[in-house]
Structure 1
Amino acid sequence: MAKRKTIKECNKELALQVLKLHIYGLKLRAMPVSAQKEKIKKTLGCARFTKNFYLAERMEGYRGTGETLSVA
C-alpha cells in the first residue's frame, strides 16, 4: 500500500508547475433538541465503553502472551 503524500509534499511537486494545493474546510454547528442530546450522549457513552473494554482486552492479552490482538 502506497503512503499518502502530505500537503507539503504535494505543494513541493506542484510548485514546479507554479501551482499550489489548498485545503478548504467547512465548520458546522449542531444544535440538537433535548431528545437528540440524550441520544448523542448514550451513543457516545456506548462507543467509549466499547473502546475501553477492547483496549483492556488487548492490554491483558499483551501482558499474558507478549503478542497484541489483531483488529479482526
Structure 2
Amino acid sequence: MAQAPTSEDSARRILSIIASTASRAGQGCEFHALQLKFLNLGGSRAQLEAGLDYAGEHGWITKGPNNFVLLTDAGFGQA
C-alpha cells in the first residue's frame, strides 16, 4: 500500500505547480488555479493545506495581492 505524501512532499508539489507558471521569484499563481491543479494531480484538500503550511513556515511562498500565492527567493530555489 502506498504511503500518503508528507507535508514536505505536498509543499514541493505546490512549488512545482507555481514554478510552472512563474519564471522567477516574486511571481506566482492565483490560489484557485493552484488548488485546482493540485487536486487534479491527485492531491487532497488536507494535503494542500499541509503543503501550504509547510511551504509558508519554510519561507518558500508568501501571500500576494488578489489571492495570489507567490514564490520567494528561497521557494524559487527549491522549485
TM-score normalised over the length of structure 1: 0.26
Based on CA coordinates, which of the two structures has the bigger radius of gyration? 1
TM-score normalised over the length of structure 2: 0.24
If each structure's strand is expressed as a fraction of its own residues, which one has the higher value? 2
Structure scoring higher RCO (CA < 8 A, sep ≥ 6) equals 2
